[in-house]
Chains A and B, each alone.
Chain A
Amino acid sequence: MTQSQIIALAVALGVCIAVFELVRRRRLSEEYSMLWLVAVVLIGVVGVWTGLLHFITRLMGAMYDTSVVFFFGIMFAFAVLIALCVRITLLTRQARRLAQEVALLRTELDALRGTPERRDP
């Protein structure tokens, strides 16, 4: 086994343990952990089985193995970022609606309790 293969395996194993630990401590949902576990398996497979990487490089007409690794790495990072932005947009919208609902309920509650002065419509 070459040094680079050992490093790839170590990284894959390390990320794998980290993800499991996060899920175990309820800090990462199973939903997201799946994504990272799949990524880790791919890193491990391509890292150890260099023949596969050479094959993909030829298939893509790429010059170097490294550029193929970087290509997929960056694509993966992009996909994750976009997915997260979509998620944030949804959460923002939900938070807005919740804030409005809470504010309206508070106003109704104050009116029922008769705390602040209020002109009847």
Chain B
Amino acid sequence: MSALRVLAIVPAYNEEEALPITLAEIRRVAPWVDVLVVNDHSSDRTAEVAAACGVPVVTLPFNLGVGGALQAGFGYALAHGYDVALQFDADGQHDPAFLDAVVEPARRQAADVVIGSRYVAASAYKAPPLRRAGMILFAAIASRAMGRRITDTTSGLRAYTRPVMRFCQEELPHDFPDAPLLILLHRAGFRIVEVPVEMRERIAGESFYTATRALYYPFKVGLASLVVALRSRRSLPRVREDA
């Protein structure tokens, strides 16, 4: 289906219930994608469950958050010569049927980062009102900082090309790879494109964006976005060409 080698990175924190279903579905719907599970120091049997599904597992020695797990996944993808890395949630929210659409702009070399957005087209996805408000706010901040419309900064379904992965080995703004990462990548000169996707309800597990983080998250992401936007271009790590 594709000449590109594509790796789906599945960050997983205590996802033993949903993970086997998610992995089986990826293999059934998108067999052209290799899968890597990054076990973010889960306290349940996430690593064993993933290994039982026959996919390679990277187990972090302590919890690093989604950003840290993704960064580790990028390290694996770079070492194993993958052209494109996909970020894919373990909890069943993402439908592997959309993977092809998310990879497509990278395949055409029309984009370096592709975001699967719930809001480009009218979507059945309904977020709780407060979370929705936050999403709109950060989409507005990111759109403003980047000079182009971004509708879904918190989407966990994304594709990254090799130069982006290499860039992210040096730099990753913070624990949540959301608006600040997108602004940073935009400022580093990467092309970011959104494609419409549908998302479902999670099968199991808890949202990463829990109530306890509700106050902390907007503050941290807001500050990180501001800092990234204020950084001079020269201070950004240079992206070397593929060797």
Contacts and interface: CB of A to CB of B under 8 A. Distances in A.
A31 interface: no
Given A100-B72, A100-B75, A117-B52, A106 B59 contact: yes
Interface in A77-100: 96, 99-100
Interface in B33-92: 34-35, 38, 51-52, 54-62, 64, 68, 71-72, 75-76, 79-80, 82
Q: Which 9 A-B pairs have the closest CB atoms?
A: A100-B72, A116-B51, A121-B34, A107-B58, A103-B58, A119-B54, A103-B60, A117-B54, A99-B61
A104 B34 contact: no
A30 interface: no
Size class of the B contact interface (CB-based, 8 Å): 20 to 34
B76 A104 contact: yes
A111 interface: yes
B72 A104 contact: yes
Contact of A101 (B34, B64, B75): B75
B5 interface: yes
Contacts of B62: 99
A102 interface: yes
B76 A107 contact: yes
Given A104-B72, A116-B51, 14 more contacts: A99-B60, A100-B64, A100-B68, A100-B75, A103-B60, A104-B75, A106-B58, A107-B57, A111-B56, A116-B57, A117-B52, A119-B54, A119-B55, A121-B7
A103 B56 contact: no
Max count, chain A CB within 10 A of own CB: residue among B56, B57, B68, B79: B56
A50 to B, nearest CB: 45
A26 interface: no
13 contacts: A99-B61, A101-B75, A103-B58, A103-B59, A103-B72, A104-B58, A104-B76, A107-B56, A116-B57, A117-B54, A119-B54, A121-B5, A121-B34
Contact of A103 (B5, B51, B61, B80): B61
Given A99-B62, A107-B57, A121 B80 contact: yes
A103 B75 CA distance: 10
A96 B68 contact: yes
Interface string A105-117: 0111001000011
